[in-house]
Amino acid sequence: MSPELIDKVRSDFPALHQSVHGRPLVYLDSAATALKPQVVIDAVTRTYTEDCANIHRAVHTLSQRATEKYEKVRTTVAGFLGVQDEREVIFVRGATEALNLVAQSFARPRLAPGDEVLLTEIEHHANLVPWQMVCEQTGASLKVVPVQDNGDILLEDVVSRMNAATKIVAFPHVSNALGTILPAAAICRAASERGITSVVDGAQGVVHAPVDLREIGCDFYAFSGHKLYAPSGIGVLWGRAELLEEMPPWQGGGDMIRIVSFEGTTYNDIPHKFEAGTPNISGVIGLGAAIEYLEAVGMAELATHEAELLEYGTGILNGIPGVRLIGEAPSKAGVLSFVMEKAHPNDVGTLADARGIAVRTGHHCAQTVMKRFGVPATIRASLGLYNRREDLDALGEALHSVNRIFA
């Protein structure tokens, strides 16, 4: 990405135009939540100032406008994911709700004692706990694919654990804690050949590179808006129409009904069958604005930009005494997780914040990853559209300062 384009992008994010502790903000926490461009903020504001009405429920002008904008985003998301049928796009609160929906509505009626759900050792809690819960409810078993010492998940390790008992394989497209990019298309193809349902946690996948679900070939894909430069409290579950049609509603009320009586209820068609109650209307419209913004910049250009920054940042961290990277898989997205020999991650995060640098410290909702690598927590610098080399230079200077303090 050219310096001119980076400057233009940075000017679009008002949160960057501030100082923290007297220093210009350096934001390296996009894997937790991304900053929002002005066009997203404006889209949300317009929803409340001009089109503040409930959708699907009225003939008046405000409701009609809000409904049209809301449903237009379904088409936008379908195009963003490379799929044709917008009915397969379900709006939820985030990837966590999407994965719980699949676990409870799809998996729970189908699993039985003796069945297996296959996960990886690098799951976010949102793609681990729901499967634990459904296994407890049904008597199915949880199986785990181990992670390599470099943070990689090998295709052969996944495939070798697929067997006649495996009913579902669920895995992250990209690890939030390590940045590892999994071979999603190959895993889904192997699952399909064996009659296994594939569920992809795409919360970090859609953020870093173009995603084409026709190429990936999964059965379900989930992501959150707030990591995609959109508002919080909104996300998407994509599922194959034939599977969604078979699934019972997960929640009741609002637009998920067609006819209601005390004798029984007839449910609505997909996707509305899974969108009970008043949705996050402004969040959906903000999500559409975020996707349009990213597509204008170019997802391929974003991927190249982040790859260059990742290489640059890796070089900086490897040159600092006492720094150890956690997760150096051959295929990685813009996540740098590391520990320091002499300082606890929380101390590093606090000292970085004093310099205006925002990094994440802790287990990153991935305690099993921390256990696997024998650390209580890591420092995570995660890259976004608006980052530049100067941000990583500032992080490197801060870490050298930490070494001096703890010498």
Query: d(Cα 42, Cα 63) in Å, to the nearest integer?
Result: 19
* Its pTM surpasses 0.95: yes
**Residue 249 and residue 169 share a domain:** yes
Domain count, the chain: 2
Quote the crossing angle between the two packed helices 389-405 and 299-318, to the nearest 10°: 20
State the SS3 of 356-407: CEECEEECCCCHHHHHHHCCCCEEEEECCCCCCHHHHHHHHHHHHHHHHHCC
- Assess contact for 228 and 287: CB atoms under 8 A: yes
Query: In the prediction, which pLDDT does 63 show?
Result: 96
As a whole number, mean pLDDT of residues 133-148 equals 98
Three-state secondary-structure class, residue 157: helix
Q: Place 127 in a pLDDT band, splitting at 50, 70 and 90.
A: very high
Q: Percent of the chain having pLDDT more than 90?
A: 96
Domain containing 115 equals: 41-295
**Beta carbons of 70 and 82 less than 8 angstroms apart:** no
Q: Helix (H, G, I), strand (E, B), or coil: what is residue 17?
A: coil
316 torsion bin: left (phi>0), alpha (psi -120 to 50), beta (else): alpha
Q: Identify whether residues 272 and 344 lie together within a single domain.
A: no
Cα 120 to its chain centre, rounded Å, is 16
- Domain boundary at 295, 328, 360, which? 295
In 3-state terms, what secondary structure has residue 177? coil
> Taking residues 194-207, what's their average pLDDT?
98
- pLDDT tens column, 274-330: 999 999 999 999 999 999 999 999 999 999 999 999 999 999 999 999 999 999 999
Q: What is the mean pLDDT of residues 173-194?
A: 98
Both 392 and 336 in one domain: the answer is yes
Provide the 10 A C-beta neighbour count for residue 55. 21
Please state, in angstroms and rounded to a whole number, the distance separating the CA atoms of residues 131 and 368: 15
Q: Which residues form the catalytic set?
A: 365
Rounded to an integer, what distance in angstroms lies between the CA atom of residue 74 and that of residue 303? 24
**What confidence tens digit (pLDDT) does each residue in 12-47 have?**
999 999 999 999 999 999 999 999 999 999 999 999
Flag whether 9 is in a domain. yes
Helix, strand, coil % over all residues of the chain, rounded to 5:
45, 20, 35
Peptide bond before residue 321 is cis, with ω within 30 degrees of 0:
no
pLDDT at 277: 92
Residues 251 and 189 in one domain: yes
| In a shared domain, residues 305 and 242 | no
Judged by phi (left if over 0) then psi (alpha if -120 to 50, else beta), residue 114 lies in: left
Residue 304 identity: T
pLDDT for the residue 1: 83
The domain that holds 74 is classified in CATH as 3.40.640.10
pLDDT at 294: 98
Mean pLDDT along residues 166-182: 98
- Three-class SS state of 170: strand
* pLDDT tens per residue, range 235-286: 999 999 999 999 999 999 888 988 999 999 999 999 999 999 999 999 999 9
